[in-house]
Structure 1
Amino acid sequence: MGFKKYLDKLVCYEAGKPIELVVRDYGIYEDDIIKLASNENPLGTPKSVIKAIKKEAKNAFRYPDDSAFELKEALSKKYRIYPSNIIIGSGSDQIIDIIIKAICNKDTKILMSSTTFAMYEIYAKQNEANIIRTKSGIHNMDEFINEYNTIKPSLVFLCLPNNPLGDCLSKDEVYKILDSVSKDCIVALDCAYNEFAKYKDKSKAIIPNELIEKYQNVVYLGTFSKLYALGGMRVGYGIATDSIIKTLSKLRPPFNITNISLKAALTAIKDKKFVEKTLKNNFKEMEVYEEFAKENNIKFIDSYTNFITFIFDDMLDSTALTNYLLKNGVIIRDLKSYRLNAIRITIGTKEQNKRVLKLISKYLHKVI
């Protein structure tokens, strides 16, 4: 076959195990399964959005507004920017793909953290770019600055907060990195979880209008998949200067967002009560996980997201625990694919978290 040779070594993205597969493999009723593997909003889709989706369904036969005019207007008001500063993608990962395509080839260097969102590497390898990682798993300002000065990459990814670990640089630290980077280097700030970080600690908040006014070489990435509970709608966005957006838009596929998805996002952005409820539940329940970890001498990373990472070192095997939970109807994320003996758990509802921690406690008593 005439496929490119690099594809032989390219690894597919490992998505969270779907509920349907657990039903089929383990014979567990769907209603008895808890999925806390993909950082979806445990409160489910807002009622306001469900209503809007049903109403918009009658227009499924029509092509969507390719300019995404209404959604861009809503985002421009939210962030105090111009619609011309926005590109809409099928999830923010489509915009990550577009950024890499616009910049990278076999001679390009990309700098990222040692442990971070897997799609940066996958898209980079699709374009045969060279990947350089910092030494620390979590984001370290000094390491990014030192590595940048050493290798002079064309593109830098900062995940703020970082997926899958949950750590987060402060805005001041991010700005110090940006101040150290030449104007020829594009810096992508993946802020898929930044609303959570801002709620927990305002020093972590990245403000898009301030960002693109101060720096001409950055792209702010946001999504409706997490806080707004629209993972299945696949709506993300990028914010940057007019010139960057014009360039990236040349690579955006036509009609890349469905009319139903656009309407869902437009409705979700207005539902402030749902957003507040989500944030309050997340960090109240996060404390329950943190206390559990402390009581059981489990290492965890201080998280600014809607998930928490437990690190086991030599305590137990993360894959064995993940499989135990799976057989009991709980889906979490094993981080062995990131070369870590750790698990990532999405913060669920009070009832879900209670059941998960009860099972983990039972497993700990069994193996320790």
Structure 2
Amino acid sequence: MKFNKNLENIKTYETGKPIELVVREFGIEPKDIIKLASNENPYGTSPKAVAAVSDIVTKMALYPDDSMIKLKNGLSKRFDVENENIIIGSGSDQVIEFLIHAKASSSSKILMNSITFAMYEIYAKHVGANIIKTASQEHDLDEFYALYKEEKPEIIFICTPNNPTGDALDAQKIYDFLKKIDSDTLVVIDGAYMEYAIAKDSSKEIAVKKLIEEFDNVVYLGTFSKAYGLGGMRVGYGVADHNIIKELYKLRPPFNITTLSLEAASVALSDEEFVKKSVTLNLEQMKRYEQFAKEQKIDIINSYTNFITFCLNSNQDSTKISNSLLKKGMIVRDLSSYNMNAIRVTIGTEEQNSRFFELVKQFL
């Protein structure tokens, strides 16, 4: 059977290994497994969101409200924008898919960082677009601009804070960069980890209202999978000029978000206390990782997220260390697929992090 030729050059995206698989492979009890691979919120979900979902489980037989009015109203209030500036996706990666299919084709060029969220490249390959990457590991906007001038891409992806490295750009530098980009080039600012960045350094905060009012070619992406603790509910969003959103709606399938997911996201959005507590605890535990790396003489990338990247030396092997940790019930992310001798570790609870330090000391 023949398939679309564009699929030939696409590698399947590798998610963090699920706990259930580790249980089957190594015979470890679920209670003894610690997953620090997928940047989930280790403190769970807002209790208010859990209660709200429990209250509406009887509505599962009905299609969800496809206008998504409750969630849109919440986001509209949060960012001081209109509902027509918002699109909801099954995770922010679905909005990325919409954007690429709306703007790009096989003759298009798409510019992104050398190491960044893998789905930009995967979706770009869906349409056969040409992928242009920077040479720098961390976002260098001067390099981005040079490549923009040379290559004339249709889409530019900027992930800040960046996944899987954790670095973040100052918001003012992004605004200055955007002023130099022509209005027909779509620029996507992926702020999946922005709640953590703002808590650590307010200069990293993207003012969403300012962004879409000043630049009608820019889309801001956010998600409920990280700070809001709703990874299993799959809710993300895009905010942009209404003309962009209108085109994206032509690609959005009906009922792309479940009734339970919409309710959970709407209530989680209003529980600012839970998010504040999550990011505060994350910062406290991040300091322990920074101190541990210093003591063990391991290089790290300064992180503005809920994870940290350990860059290993030539005597250490990220795959071997990841596999050794896995056999002990500790799941981390091996970054060898990004051509990095590094591991990415989600900042867990105090107890989970202590266990990580204990095991890594053994393997180092």
Name the TM-score, length of structure 2 as normaliser: 0.99
Q: How many Å apart are 1:4 and its aligned residue?
A: 1.3
Alignment of 1:1-368 (within 5 A): 1-364=1-364
Provide the rounded CA distance (Å) in 1 between the counterparts of 2:147 and 2:313.
28
Letter in 2 for 1:225: S
Letter in 1 for 2:45: T
Q: CA RMSD in A?
A: 0.7
Provide the rounded CA distance (Å) in 2 between the counterparts of 1:107 and 1:26.
47
In the TM superposition, structure 1's runs of 4+ consecutive aligned residues that sit over 3 Å from their partners are none
Letter in 2 for 1:128: G
Provide the rounded CA distance (Å) in 2 between the counterparts of 1:241 and 1:107.
25
Provide the rounded CA distance (Å) in 2 between the counterparts of 1:226 and 1:73.
21
Encode CA deviations 1:140-176: one digit per residue, 9 max, x unaligned.
1111111111111010000010000001111111112
Provide the rounded CA distance (Å) in 2 between the counterparts of 1:311 and 1:348.
19
Q: How many Å apart are 1:316 and its aligned residue?
A: 0.2
Provide the rounded CA distance (Å) in 1 between the counterparts of 2:196 and 2:55.
30
Provide the rounded CA distance (Å) in 2 between the counterparts of 1:298 and 1:199.
25
Provide the rounded CA distance (Å) in 1 between the counterparts of 2:141 and 2:9.
31
Q: Tell me, what secondary structure is at the counterpart of 1:313?
A: coil
**Structure 1 unpaired stretches of 5+:** none
Provide the rounded CA distance (Å) in 2 between the counterparts of 1:2 and 1:127.
17
Q: How many Å apart are 1:121 and its aligned residue?
A: 0.3
Q: How many Å apart are 1:9 and its aligned residue?
A: 2.4
Provide the rounded CA distance (Å) in 2 between the counterparts of 1:125 and 1:273.
40
Q: Tell me, what secondary structure is at the counterpart of 2:343?
A: strand
Q: How many Å apart are 1:47 and its aligned residue?
A: 1.5
Letter in 2 for 1:196: Y
Q: Tell me, what secondary structure is at the counterpart of 2:120?
A: helix
Q: How many Å apart are 1:2 and its aligned residue?
A: 2.5
Letter in 1 for 2:268: A
Q: Tell me, what secondary structure is at the counterpart of 1:28?
A: coil
Q: Tell me, what secondary structure is at the counterpart of 2:158?
A: strand
Provide the rounded CA distance (Å) in 1 between the counterparts of 2:184 and 2:313.
41
Q: Tell me, what secondary structure is at the counterpart of 1:352?
A: helix
Q: Tell me, what secondary structure is at the counterpart of 2:2?
A: coil
Provide the rounded CA distance (Å) in 1 between the counterparts of 2:63 and 2:25.
38
Pairs aligned (count): 364
**Structure 2 unpaired stretches of 5+:** none
Encode CA deviations 1:7-27: one digit per residue, 9 max, x unaligned.
122101010000000000011
Q: How many Å apart are 1:183 and its aligned residue?
A: 0.4
Provide the rounded CA distance (Å) in 1 between the counterparts of 2:74 and 2:46.
18
Provide the rounded CA distance (Å) in 2 between the counterparts of 1:22 and 1:175.
44
Encode CA deviations 1:49-81: one digit per residue, 9 max, x unaligned.
111111111100000011101100010001111
Letter in 2 for 1:162: N
Provide the rounded CA distance (Å) in 2 between the counterparts of 1:148 and 1:30.
48
Q: Tell me, what secondary structure is at the counterpart of 1:233?
A: coil
Provide the rounded CA distance (Å) in 2 between the counterparts of 1:315 and 1:275.
39
Provide the rounded CA distance (Å) in 2 between the counterparts of 1:259 and 1:179.
40
Provide the rounded CA distance (Å) in 2 between the counterparts of 1:56 and 1:240.
31
Name the TM-score, length of structure 1 as normaliser: 0.98
